[in-house]
Amino acid sequence: MNKRTALITGATQGIGYYFSRIMARNKVDLVLIDKNEDHLLELALDLYQRYGVRVKFIPFDMSKNNAPFVVYNDIIKDGFHIDYLINNAGVGDGGYFHEIDWEKEREMINLNVVCLVQLTKLILNDMVKLGKGRVLNVASTAAFQPGPNMAVYHATKAFVLSFSEAIANELKNSGITVTALCPDPKQSGLQHLAEIEVNKLLKMRKLPKDWEVAEFGFHSMIEGKTVAVNGFMNRLLLNTMRLFRKSTPGHPYAKYPVSNNE
């Protein structure tokens, strides 16, 4: 049996950390990417010792220009073929759009959108040649609505969702699936922005644990689901927003579908 390999960006924190553990538990070799070299080394050693999988780690800032090409060339040089691509790396920022420093916005767009698209294109070309593969892109429930005071973040996640759905359709019957996982924003790049004001109803919700989101995302990817929204409350809120917007003539999000994938 050929060994399988997963590439995971943002691999050492949040749901990315648990994606790494889940893959290793399933005897999948790993290519782990994150900015923090110390955390990568610690995680790689633990996964190798605990599960006996091969682990390559690349300490790299994926928001840098052409980062995906650097990473891809490194992977190819070492003879890896990627069976599972998990684009988890992401960042968020909050505030009035006209006041936020452009470099922060540029970094967000590069990491959340440009890096994700470039890396997906590079890995997907190889998957298509072999006629098999799984891609999971971490979007967010923020993808389903505009976000005042987080305008660019919400827009980047809307892009990820739309992009994932489109290429999933293109790859239908190819042996390759693409899944957009839509966790809560605080689990998809906004972990450090606890001070941002959020809707009171959202504050009242009990969020699933990061490991629960990762398990849900993993199974959704394996099952080939296109859009995966975890948690009854998340789906309820999203469908409520969809219905509300249907009552607002001309609203661009009025007919946006919310998939029930749990």
Among candidate residues 123, 122, 190, 202, the one with its CA nearest the CA of residue 157: 190
3-state secondary structure of 29: strand
The residue from 18, 84, 153, 256 that is catalytic is 153
Among candidate residues 133, 138, 163, 143, the one with its CA nearest the CA of residue 213: 138
153 is catalytic: yes
Residues listed for the chain: 262
Both ends of the chain: CA-CA distance in Å? 31
CA angle 124, 43, 13 (to 5 degrees): 70
Sign of CA dihedral 247, 251, 256, 258: negative
Question: Are the CB atoms for 10 and 88 separated by under 8 Å?
Answer: yes
φ and ψ at 204, to 5 degrees?
A: -75, -20
Tokens of 147: 């976000």
> Catalytic residue positions?
153
